[in-house]
Amino acid sequence: MSLTVLILLLLAGIILIAMDILFIPGGIVAFFGLGLMIFADYGAYESLGSTGGHLFTLASVVAFAVILVQIFRPSFWKRVSEPAEVLGKVNTEDLQHCKVGDEGTSLTRLRPSGNARFGNHVVEVFTRHEFIEANQAVKVTSIDENRIYVQTLKTE
């Protein structure tokens, strides 16, 4: 094998191991990467002789160590991860304007969620087992885990 092919096999093995560490957990991809690296080292001994094989193996171990050190440095993770903070929060303001038993009107279709008006406040609401069309009278049945649940108001 030529030196170019050996280097490409070595790089492919290192890339597969890095992919296993970063993206594809489980070890199977890393196993194939290790196999490629061993095959490249074997090919180096066959093509370049004993001294060339030793030098190639040493270079492959050093390259692998450098890449692993770079991957596990915090600065690497800062470059590849999302730096933005999560600024969202649960909308608990709606819960202050509604209580169980309040009656209002659905502004959108509730399939199973949408908006409804209770007095002067528009809030996001959910249904449990029904779809409600827009402009229907609804009643708050429960408030669980920051969700307001409604059902159709039965007119008798």
pLDDT attached to residue 134 = 94
Kindly report the pTM of this predicted structure: 0.48
Asked whether 151 and 128 are in contact (CB, 8 A), the reply is yes
pLDDT attached to residue 18 = 83
User: Which residue matches tokens 């096999």?
Assistant: 9
Give the chain's residues under pLDDT 50: none
CA–CA separation, 135 vs 106, rounded Å?
5
pLDDT attached to residue 142 = 92
Q: Which CATH entry fits the domain spanning 94-152: 3.40.50.2000, 1.20.120.420, 2.40.50.140, 2.40.30.10?
A: 2.40.50.140
pLDDT attached to residue 22 = 79
- The full set of domain ranges for the chain reads 3-80, 94-152
Q: Report helix angle 3-22 to 28-71, nearest 10.
A: 90
Pairing of strands 103-106, 137-144: antiparallel
